[in-house]
């Protein structure tokens, strides 16, 4: 009896390949460590078959078929143990048909049944089908494993990302707790600072109002001088007329016509004294209304009267500071403007601010350009097609560049030197018109040529 070493070599090689493929494909050391240990002894059946070959002299192809059948049974058992793993179920589906075919074929060969010879073509076709079936589903299992591996890697990345996010969240919570304590303290400090800021804001607004009151007071002092001079002059003349009338009455022969004429002159003087006294009283009343805190109530207001009066008061206020300054004043007041619901004190402040700025602009230009330049400030009113009241204040002063025009209504922005302006006048005027009267305040200007402010209030 001769020992055939090729059988042992083929058996050992087959078991090595099967074990290697199974361990790698199914990750047996991690999924089925018990099976992984058993597969290390898969060479024992092969060696046993080799010994049987030596003792009983089987045909070599029979031993190969027996061992291959054994190998496929092992694969089936491993796949069944991993039936919850989708690629394992696919491998099971792949090898079962071929294993069944191999078992039937081996049984026919061992039993020397002639059925295999009679249906040799059918068996060959069946073998080919089972081989193709096995290869196809093994490829499918391989693709499934790759897909599952990608999903596993993706899950691992997601889990790592979750852990990283959890770590970051923990760190952020710690930082937030620290910052919360800090911010709580800062909030208390800011609250106190805000209270102080509001107090300062109120003081600044009051300072701006007092500044405008100062401008108004200077104009009033100059403007009220005229009616007071008239009152004084007509009082003196009236006193002379009374003296002359008394002398005429003491004469033996009285001149009735002269007495009548003196009485008429005296009455006219008293009327003029009353007129100019009322004019002085209205100026004082305007000053008091300007200095009084606004009630915030809209009342019928004569915009034409306000515009005309504050134009002259602003002009005389500047002349009270600079006796050499002169300017041309133009008024184009729409006679049928009527009264408008407005807060007269606030609109007066707006007009006074615009007029004061206009006279300041023409005065500065006059200092720079002396030849042929006539300082001019104008005010005009009209009714728009929409029924709104529009007031335009224009001067031919220094004008302003675009960069300045874009900032002109910002709080504390001023083009005046330090000490000559608070930077709140136009800002407060803008708030009065837009927020207090639901109107608009716009400006058009060309540097070196003119500036024109337009107030529009709903009628």
Map tokens 């029924």 to a residue: 387
Looking at the fold, whether 337 and 412 belong to one and the same domain comes out as yes
Question: Is 208 domain-assigned?
Answer: no
Q: Which whole number is the average pLDDT over 77-85?
A: 80
SS3 381: strand
pLDDT tier at 2 (50, 70, 90 boundaries)? Answer: very low
Q: What is the pLDDT of residue 285?
A: 66
Query: What is the domain extent for residue 361?
Result: 296-459
Residue 3 has pLDDT above 50, yes or no: no
Domains contained in the chain, number: 3
SS3 457: strand
Q: Please identify, among 257, 292, 327, the residue that sits at the C-terminal boundary of a domain.
A: 292
Query: What kind and span of H or E run contains 215?
Result: helix 120-223
Residue 413 has pLDDT above 90, yes or no: no
Question: Is 95 domain-assigned?
Answer: yes
Question: Is 171 domain-assigned?
Answer: no
Using one digit for the tens of pLDDT, what is the confidence trace for 215-261? 556 555 555 666 676 677 667 767 777 777 777 777 777 777 777 77
Looking at the fold, whether 155 and 243 belong to one and the same domain comes out as no
User: Which range scores top for mean pLDDT: 50-59, 122-131, 290-299, 386-395?
Assistant: 386-395
Q: What is the pLDDT of residue 368?
A: 83
Contact 19, 41 (CB under 8 A): no
Q: What is the pLDDT of residue 235?
A: 76
Q: Please identify, among 236, 257, 292, the residue that sits at the C-terminal boundary of a domain.
A: 292
Q: What is the pLDDT of residue 137?
A: 81
Looking at the fold, whether 235 and 321 belong to one and the same domain comes out as no
| Count of helices and strands (H, E) across the chain | 14, 7
Kindly state the tokens that stand for 255. 């001149």
The two beta strands, 389-395 and 376-383, are antiparallel
Q: What is the pLDDT of residue 381?
A: 92
The mean predicted confidence, pLDDT, of the chain is 76
Q: What is the pLDDT of residue 183?
A: 85
What is the four-CA torsion angle of 26, 30, 32, 36, rounded to 10 degrees? Answer: 80
Looking at the fold, whether 277 and 246 belong to one and the same domain comes out as yes
- What pTM, to 2 d.p., does this model score? 0.46
Looking at the fold, whether 307 and 419 belong to one and the same domain comes out as yes
Kindly state the tokens that stand for 356. 């004061």
Angle formed at CA 358 by CA 355 and CA 362, multiple of 5 degrees: 140
Contact 36, 28 (CB under 8 A): yes
Residue 197 has pLDDT above 80, yes or no: no
Using one digit for the tens of pLDDT, what is the confidence trace for 248-289? 777 777 777 777 777 777 777 777 777 767 767 766 666 565
Q: Please tell me the distance from the alpha carbon of residue 430 to that of residue 417, in angstroms, as a whole number.
A: 22
Using one digit for the tens of pLDDT, what is the confidence trace for 317-371? 777 677 788 888 999 998 888 888 888 888 888 888 889 889 888 888 888 876 7
Residue 295 has pLDDT above 70, yes or no: no
Question: Is 195 domain-assigned?
Answer: no
């Amino acid at each position: 009896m001769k020992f055939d070493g090729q059988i042992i070599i083929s058996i050992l090689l087959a078991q090595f390949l099967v074990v290697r493929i199974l361990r790698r494909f199914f990750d047996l050391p991690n999924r089925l460590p018990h099976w992984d240990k058993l597969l290390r002894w898969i060479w024992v059946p092969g060696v046993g078959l080799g010994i049987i070959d030596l003792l009983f002299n089987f045909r070599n192809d029979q031993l190969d078929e027996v061992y291959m059948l054994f190998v496929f049974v092992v694969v089936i058992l491993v796949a069944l143990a991993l039936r919850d793993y989708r690629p394992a179920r696919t491998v099971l589906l792949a090898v079962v048909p071929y294993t069944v075919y191999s078992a039937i074929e081996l049984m026919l060969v061992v039993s020397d049944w002639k059925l295999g010879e009679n249906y040799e073509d059918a068996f060959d076709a069946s073998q080919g089908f089972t081989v193709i079936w096995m290869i196809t589903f093994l490829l499918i299992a391989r693709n499934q494993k790759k897909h599952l591996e990608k999903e596993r890697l993706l899950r691992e990345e997601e889990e790592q990302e979750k852990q990283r996010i959890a770590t970051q969240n923990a760190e952020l919570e710690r930082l937030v707790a620290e910052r919360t304590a800090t911010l709580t303290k800062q909030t208390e400090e800011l609250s106190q600072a805000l209270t102080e800021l509001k107090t300062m804001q109120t003081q600044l607004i009051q300072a701006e109002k007092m500044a405008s009151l100062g401008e108004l007071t200077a104009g009033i002092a100059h403007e009220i001088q005229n009616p007071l001079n008239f009152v004084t002059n007509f009082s003196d003349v009236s006193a002379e007329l009374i003296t002359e009338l008394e002398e005429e009455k003491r004469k033996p022969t009285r001149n009735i016509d002269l007495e009548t004429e003196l009485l008429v002159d005296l009455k006219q003087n008293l009327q003029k004294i009353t007129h100019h006294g009322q004019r002085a009283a209205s100026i004082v009343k305007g000053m008091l209304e300007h200095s009084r805190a606004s009630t915030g109530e809209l009342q019928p207001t004569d915009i034409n009267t306000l515009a005309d009066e504050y134009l002259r008061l602003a002009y005389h206020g500047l002349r009270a500071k600079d006796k050499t300054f002169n300017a041309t004043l133009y008024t184009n007041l729409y006679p049928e403007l009527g009264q408008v619901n407005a807060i007269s004190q606030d609109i007066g402040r707006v007009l006074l601010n615009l007029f004061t700025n206009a006279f300041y602009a023409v005065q500065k230009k006059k200092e720079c350009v002396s030849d042929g330049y006539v300082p001019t400030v104008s005010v005009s009113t009209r009714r728009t097609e929409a029924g709104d009241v529009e007031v335009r204040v224009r001067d031919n002063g220094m004008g302003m560049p675009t960069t300045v025009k874009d900032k002109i209504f910002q709080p504390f922005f001023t083009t005046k030197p330090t000490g000559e302006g608070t930077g709140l006048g136009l800002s407060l005027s803008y708030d009065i018109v837009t927020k207090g009267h639901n109107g608009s305040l716009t400006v058009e200007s060309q540097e070196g040529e003119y500036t024109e402010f337009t107030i529009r209030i709903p009628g």
